[in-house]
Structure 1
């Protein structure tokens, strides 16, 4: 890596067949049966070209937006690539630690990138971003730290001539989504959402962009024709209904309780767990984290290394939150390792 973090390393590469997966943040036991049934039924329509109209309208209704403010994408990852192709920033800033694909996409498109690395507990101060930055990218809640930034702090970044991109891929982990900007969409703010994590659709690729109609139109022109498949459109429409949103919210409450218990158990063992976690994973500082990761792999447990995230290093791990039984099994293995 030549001293630089590997921005293309992702959690799925940590998991080998048969391993207990604490490396990938996709919710276990998904997609739910009702969604899987709809996806299977959508195969009957594969002879026709995908029509995004209904799914786009469903997303617009879900967030109280106009359809012209919505672009459906093959996951949030495609959205980062489209933004990197369409925007021409003079001073692009990525707030780290966060999901590395935004920076990777910008660099692949030939844009220089500056990093603002957050300090203690990874809380965000908008004053840390240079005033001359005309593109700012930030995650909320942030992968891998699980920190939820106040909406007011992110809104404070908005100003004429600046685009603020907020990756809200994990916002549906937060009951009620009080800090989401999807329904507010201040001028100059772009919100990215993903259905991958909560609904177990990593292999389907389903997400969307919310932005001003003028930017949505530019992104659509840069997007390949029929980029989002018919099954993905069916999933986007189905997961945007009030019933699906309520189901996700109920899961977020249940998951949050287990996450807080899991964090307390780890903290009680003397580990530093980034406080205030609000997503479906925890960020831990562990002496010789890479060595611990290797020992866990020998025992059949995959966790996400932290040293590929700018702003972290070799003493960091990201651990997904599962159900109580699975989390307790991992705690037992850690105990066996002297942790």
Structure 2
């Protein structure tokens, strides 16, 4: 007899439900949300062929932890699971959700998702932290400019020592403004130091990665883009074709077809938004700053000529993603044509 399990995970507790091939519940329990406790509880039930839980914040830790304990765990798409679970029971409870996930595991009616490795998640966290800090820096600088312009002082946009000097000079002799300016300038200096430290970490990681160095042979692809793309792909072999990377990153148009209605919309914007943005910026650099004659650039400029520059950048970003994945899988450098 085959058995299947469903896990409904929360921050503190996880509901476990095990069913047999006929859908009869054979084991139910509630344990702490740690891989060791969940594996120990599953060991009390008959050996399961498949253990299913939904994507979420704790998915990477639980997936890799349970896999290390020898549990045949599968992570499924939460949006699809939500629609299926909603139709199975009238009342939504954690216990019912665990039983519903067990039935999904039994029937095979689910979409498995790739759980990235913990090092890939660490790189992604570093990139997200940098983005947040840069956003805070821009917010602080805009606030400083806004305070100064009230008193008739227009500060320069460039990030230079003159920016700080003019900001401090404009606040001299004004009690409240002087304290506010010094506080904001001190916070800006701290944010700049944190960004510089992250940039140094990124530089060291790129130097230690052969894959990143290969990707940087593409004109327009820098350290941040190469590192973010490598972390997003994680395992190049999980994509059957390099063309599948475009839809994965949301760089292909949406399509809706039903009966006589059939139209193509804008790009889907699925997947990692930060990687998609970096690829778009790399495409823009290739189109506007790269002086090297490239067939890839000429192809994108031809699209811009008959359509718009924005569509050309998106098309080039998708093509760059395909090329970068092929380079990762084959271990080759960019060969301009």
Q: Highest relative contact order (Cα 8 Å, sep 6+), 1 or 2?
A: 1
Q: TM-score, normalised by structure 1?
A: 0.24
Q: Which has the higher helix share?
A: 2
Based on CA coordinates, which of the two structures has the bigger radius of gyration?
A: 2
